Amino acid sequence: MFDDSTGDDFLKACSNLNNMMVTKGQIDASANVLNLGCGNGTTAIWLSGNRNWHVTGVDLSGVRVQNAQNARARLDQAAQEKLAFEEASAADLPFDDASFTRLWSQAVSTTYRKGIRA
Ligand SMILES: C[S@@+](CC[C@H](N)C(=O)[O-])C[C@H]1O[C@@H](n2cnc3c(N)ncnc32)[C@H](O)[C@@H]1O
């Protein structure tokens, strides 16, 4: 989210948007978050590290999930324990109902079947 403090800096704008979503979502430290369409895991890692949440990232792309797992592997043990990445489609999630307390999805464009639950 661009504002007077960001100028044209895209990464600062992304950080602003994330902080706004955290605030508006009223997400507390006990959150167990499903990050749908996690890509390379950048946001999942930020959410987990900055907010101390458990975050599971899923993405359709095996390449991106591998990138996310590689990034996770470079973190310390405590940080790794709060993060997981899996290849999966939003249309066929491999989790039981009510496995998560929050769903986080950004910059994901896809189509969903009616009635999907996370
Ligand atoms: C533009 S990237 C955004 C990644 C990440 N959310 C971010 O903000 O950096 C969109 C991602 O959504 C994933 N995606 C699209 N449709 C999906 C679906 N049905 N299930 C899981 N992932 C999906 C794509 O594979 C891609 O990695």
Most confidently predicted of 4-13, 14-23, 64-73, 103-112: 64-73
Pocket of ligand 1 (CB under 6 A): 37-39, 42-43, 58-61, 64, 89-91, 106-108, 110
Instruction: Give me ligand 1 centre to Cα 77, in Å.
Output: 26
- Which of 55, 51, 56, 57 has its CA nearest to residue 28? 51
Domains of the chain: residue spans and CATH: 28-104 (3.40.50.150)
Give me the sign of the Cα torsion angle 45, 68, 36, 30.
negative
pLDDT score at 48: 92
CA-nearest residue, atom 27 of ligand 1: 39
Instruction: Give me ligand 1 centre to Cα 76, in Å.
Output: 26
pTM for the whole thing?
Answer: 0.89
Calculate the CA dihedral of residues 14, 19, 21, 23 and round it to 10 degrees.
-170
pLDDT (tens digit per residue) in 20-52:
888 888 888 888 999 999 999 999 999 998 888
Confidence band for 116, pLDDT divided at 50, 70 and 90 = low
